[in-house]
Chains A and B, each alone.
Chain A
Amino acid sequence: MSMSKTVNGDLGTTADAAAVRRAISSTPRPPRPTPASAALTFGWRAMLKVKHVPEQLLDVTITPVMFVLMFTYMFGGAVAGSTAEYRDYLLPGLLVMSVLFTTVYSGVALNTDVTKGVVDRFRSLPVWRPAPLLGTMLGDTARYVANGTVLLLLGFALGFRPGAGLPGVLAALAVTVLFAFGLSWVFTTLGLVLRSPSAVMNAGFMAIFPLTFLSNVFVDPQTLPRPLEAFVNVNPMSTLATVSRGLMEGHASGGDVLLVLAVAAVLTAVFAPLTTKLYRKG
């Protein structure tokens, strides 16, 4: 059989019939990967995306830097009288806000996969069913950690020295990332229900903006009008920001920590199975 030796595009490439025949005839089927290996492979894919997709890279580098510089220096003088004092109030809450913002992209990325058709291939592979989602979420969790780490490092560079030291900071980061993991299932569910990545982006930010801004991240709620104060006080983001502050300063309330972890667990328990079900249904 002869293969046409046409030149394809600017790359001067052709398929080679003999090599194609060899390629299709030469592969025994290997044993299936273990569930953990399959999930880690999907995690590897998520990491590659951070490398290749500019939005995702910006998300873990520029976004936290921008948040810190913008809010510290814009609001610092007005809200707290000094940027240094405000920085110490703001950073624990800003950590929460910055990390939670990136959870929206988990939904956007999943929707992109579905609308581009690559999910069809994953679903037609004989891999452990939850592997694609779980692996992607593992990769996303790494993204959350990177985002929070960048923010905290910049904070340290600007002189942030919380009372409970590094252990407190790491504890705050851990709780924030756990909460982000729970919240991201909400956005993956959205990602499978809505039609386009931009719809997910819009809906996601429509939810995450008021939830993070109408909290105690930026200001002490006692300065707010009553109804707003009431909302801010029941907003789980406020509790999370309070926990973050408490852990960093060494006076966290155990009850609040439990509450935050419980909310994360409930979100996961409700939305992870929902996401899985929608994903399988295709």
Chain B
Amino acid sequence: MPDQSSLAIEATGLTKSFGDTLAVDGVDLAVRRGTVYGVLGPNGAGKTTTIRILATLIRPDAGTARVLGHDIVDEADAVRGAISLTGQLASVDEDLTGRENLVLIGRLLGLKRAAANERAAELLAAFGLSPAAGRLVKHFSGGMRRRLDIAASIVVTPQLLFLDEPTTGLDPRSRNQVWDIVRAFVAEGTTILLCTQYLEEADQLADGIAVIDRGRVIAEGTPAQLKASIGGGSLRVRLLDPDQRQQAQQTLTRLLGPVSLEPDPAALVAHGPHPERAAAAVAELARQGIAVAGFSLGQPSLDEVFLALTGHPADDGAGVDDEIEEGQAV
């Protein structure tokens, strides 16, 4: 190991513009080895650009970063020798089969033909892709493609894995599979930088989170700290009898604060309660004889996080769209 520092990523003041658009505006990051660090933000916040800088795909205009002890500009090749990247666009070759993709990466990393074939077979089996191994990737489902992409990233075990929005566009079942894979990596001590638009994903997987907006880190902490700073999600209650809604509203307002009424005449929503107090409030409704048909306590959405942290909603048009970034970079 070239560097005994406890930090896998140390970035200071990273800045990158494309044309007139400032995509990354002075980002600082410190990611400890053996942890999962989440970078949370909406489309165009600068997440992908940050990952691409750290993975040596583009050079920063200003700022410095060391990845696993190597400077990302001066020692780019050493960085590349220790990382793996799973891009937002699923960085696999659609025109090859699943097996060919993994053999290709294995050969490029220096495995001999037999070893590359063996490794591909092992990974295909581990990721549940053996039955599809001989199919062209363009015929894979979104979830299978993602799993292949992640498998391609560990053909040789990386010291640091970049995961750029690994579950965007996946159905919940495929998403859970990807999460399980990430947890397996965590159990083996792999350091992961995870970019995501979903607070729930960062909450489930990450040890630390940086919230990024318009190219800047606007908040940082553990998932618990972050959630505590913005309150809980929202408590949605649906009553059996719409006539009792007014009484329920009074009770919930007294216990939890402002309550808004839903278009559904039997439903109402309290914002930001702590889960324990929300539970107590629901119990109080029952005690008062207000029959509850159902209730749910949602995680705060990214929108709510943004609203709480920045005072403005997370609007997609604010920054540079990642697709456009790519076009402008060439």
Contacts and interface: CB of A to CB of B under 8 A. Distances in A.
A13 B128 contact: yes
Nearest to B58: A282
A26 B110 CA distance: 16
A32 B78 CA distance: 12
B81 A126 contact: yes
Given A24-B157, A123-B57, A15 B107 contact: no
A121 B144 contact: no
Interface residues of A, number: 58
Nearest to A6: B173
A6 B77 CA distance: 40
B326 to A, nearest CB: 8
B109 A124 contact: no
Contacts of A27: 119, 154-157
A3 interface: yes
Contact of B96 (A48, A193, A195): A48
Given A1-B187, A9-B141, A15-B147, A124 B180 contact: no
B89 A11 contact: no
A78 B141 CA distance: 54
B311 interface: no
A240 interface: no
Interface stretch (A68-76, A111-119, A161-169, A247-255): A111-119
B11 interface: no
Interface in B71-130: 77, 80-81, 83-85, 87-97, 100, 104-105, 107-112, 115, 119, 122-123, 125-130
A163 B176 CA distance: 69
11 contacts: A16-B128, A17-B184, A23-B126, A27-B119, A41-B104, A41-B107, A42-B108, A120-B55, A123-B57, A126-B80, A278-B330
Closest 4 CB pairs of A and B: A117-B89, A19-B126, A13-B128, A121-B91
Interface of A: 1, 3-4, 6, 8-9, 11-17, 19-27, 29-33, 37-38, 41-42, 44-45, 48-49, 52-53, 113-118, 120-127, 131, 192-193, 195, 278, 281-282
Interface of B: 52, 55-58, 77, 80-81, 83-85, 87-97, 100, 104-105, 107-112, 115, 119, 122-123, 125-132, 136, 141, 143-144, 147, 151-152, 154-157, 173-174, 176-177, 180-181, 183-185, 187-188, 190, 326-327, 329-330
